[in-house]
Structure 1
Amino acid sequence: MKTQRFCLSCDLKDNPKLIEEYKEYHAAGNAWPEITKSIKDAGIIDMQIYLTGNRMFMIMEVDETFDPEKKAKMDADNPKVQEWEQLMWKYQQGLPWAKDGEKWIMMEKVFQL
């Protein structure tokens, strides 16, 4: 099976209390099961989120069935995902260069060893 990696970035609101709440939602076993199911159903094999200050980095390993546009449509059509996204927007904010309402932005790979 051929896999591919995607890296994305998003900011949290620079508020220590909100950042701790966000981390708690994402602690092992705390993400809603409907959310983890939707991630796996989209062809995402592994997803990790790292945090420094209020900047987050997401690394996704995906299989050959993954399509970002298909995933966006699946998310838009899933009421539970929309509920989660609305809740997470309490904690998240777009990067300074993001378009209005844009959260996670694809990162450009600039180096590989």
Structure 2
Amino acid sequence: MQRHYYALDLRDDAEAIAEYERWHQPGQVWPEIIASIRASGVQEMEIFRTGNRLVMVVQMAAGQGISREAAEPDAKTLAWEALMDRYQQRLPWAQAGQKWVPMQRIFSLADA
């Protein structure tokens, strides 16, 4: 298994953060979005929050890259992304058009 880690910020607004979290509760993410994520080869995905910073952990089969970004998004995915965009803000170092920024591992106890 391969894990990929990404970071993104939410607008620093308690009400917006609470609403974003409600959208991510079980049964709230649109089924088409869940199907799209799974179809892209993602085996597991988790999002963690501290303050307004999000970290997303994506687990893929060994040797498999994330293909979701390369695929042309459908109308439902575009609608979901527009909805989530109301709550999100880009990291200052994100590339143009980039939402979730890949994180680089800098330490592993297994390698120490």
Do the structures match in fold with TM over 0.5?
yes
SS at match of 1:72: coil
Note if contact 2:41-2:60 (Cα within 8 Å) is conserved in structure 1.
Answer: yes
The answer to whether the aligner puts 1:73 opposite 2:70 as a matched pair is yes
What residue in structure 2 maps to residue 110 of structure 1?
106
Which residues of 2 match residues 87-102 of structure 1 at below 5 A? 87-102=83-98
Q: Which has the higher helix share?
A: 1
**Deviation readout 1:47-97 (Å, 9 max, x if unpaired):** 0000000000000111247433x31132x3311111100110000000121
What residue in structure 2 maps to residue 16 of structure 1?
14
What residue in structure 2 maps to residue 41 of structure 1?
39
Query: What RMSD in Å do the two structures reach over aligned CA positions?
Result: 1.4
After TM superposition, the score normalised by the length of structure 2 is 0.90
**Deviation readout 1:4-51 (Å, 9 max, x if unpaired):** 100000000000000000000001111000001001001100000000
| CA distance, structure 2, for counterparts of residue 65 and residue 24 of structure 1 | 33
After TM superposition, the score normalised by the length of structure 1 is 0.89
Return closer, same or farther for 1:81/1:66 CA change in 2, 3 Å cut-off.
farther
Aligned residues: 109
- The CA deviation at 1:108 is 0.3
Note if contact 2:2-2:63 (Cα within 8 Å) is conserved in structure 1.
Answer: no
Q: Which of 23, 27, 51 is the matching residue for 1:25?
A: 23
Return closer, same or farther for 1:92/1:37 CA change in 2, 3 Å cut-off.
same
